[in-house]
């Protein structure tokens, strides 16, 4: 965000003091890390979303910029192609995840509401060209995750029953194999 930190005109993370999500307990050290390492590496779109999120009354809920850069590093080291974001808010960590995944990567994003996402995050994410990776599901996380597990199990059941991957109603070879 572009607000003044401790009245010195310095850019801080999401709030005007030490970000609540950081392990560091020294404001000057955290500020030094932000200025020397984190902000210079932050892509413009993430910065835009962080600044916009800072205007939200619940801005303190957002992930911190240092945290999402670590997340991006882990995604790249893992070579992950799929991710699940539980708790989207305006979409700051969601955007960071989408940027770190390959172009054909997918994220299921879950939140009980998409109000803050639609108002603040979505336009930035569209502009960043990564919206196609995001499958937003509105609802409580646990039932949505249960639904995802059920979808995978149905898919696995289907592909083992019909290994030729044809439409079940048309498939003679697999039905024959299953029945025989």
Q: Which residues bind ligand SAM (CB under 6 A)?
A: 61-63, 87-90, 92-93, 110-113, 140-141
Euclidean distance between the first and final Cα of the chain, in Å?
A: 65
* Residues 6+ positions from 16 with CB-CB distance below 8 Å: 3, 4, 5, 6
Give me the residue whose beta carbon is nearest to ligand SAM: 87
Nearer Cβ to ligand SAM (66/111): 111
Radius of gyration of the chain (CA): 21
CA distance 171 to 128: 43
Question: Taking a C-beta distance cutoff of 8 angstroms, is the pair 137, 113 a contact?
Answer: no
Q: Residue 18 or 83: which CB sits closer to ligand SAM?
A: 83
- At closest approach, how far in Å is the CB of 116 from ligand SAM? 6
- Least distance (Å) from ligand SAM to the CB of residue 124? 12
CB of 45 to ligand SAM, least distance (A): 14
C-beta of 12 vs 93, nearer to ligand SAM: 93
Give the three-class secondary structure for 5.
strand
Nearer to ligand SAM, 123 or 174 (CB): 123
DSSP 133: G
Least separation in angstroms between CB 158 and ligand SAM: 28
CB of 118 to ligand SAM, least distance (A): 12
Cβ(48)–Cβ(55) under 8 Å?
A: no
Q: Which is nearer to ligand SAM, 5 or 111 (CB)?
A: 111
Q: Which of 45, 105, 92, 100 is nearest to 71 (CA)?
A: 100
Which H or E run contains 83?
strand 82-86
């Amino acid at each position: 965000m572009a607000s003044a930190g401790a009245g010195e005109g310095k850019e801080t993370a999401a709030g005007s003091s030490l970000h609540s999500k950081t392990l560091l307990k020294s404001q000057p050290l955290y500020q030094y890390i932000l200025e020397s390492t984190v902000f210079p590496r932050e892509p413009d779109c993430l910065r835009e979303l962080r600044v916009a999120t800072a205007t939200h009354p619940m801005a303190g809920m957002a992930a911190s910029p240092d945290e999402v850069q670590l997340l991006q590093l882990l995604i790249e080291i893992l070579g992950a192609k799929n991710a699940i974001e539980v708790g989207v808010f305006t979409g700051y960590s969601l955007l960071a995840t989408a940027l770190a995944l390959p172009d054909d990567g997918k994220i299921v994003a879950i939140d009980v509401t998409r109000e803050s996402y639609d108002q603040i995050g979505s336009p930035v994410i569209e502009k960043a060209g990564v919206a196609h990776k995001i499958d937003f599901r509105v609802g409580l996380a646990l039932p949505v995750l249960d639904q995802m597990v059920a979808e995978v199990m149905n898919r696995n059941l289907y592909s083992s029953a019909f290994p030729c991957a044809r439409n079940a109603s048309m498939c003679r070879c697999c039905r024959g194999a299953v029945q025989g």
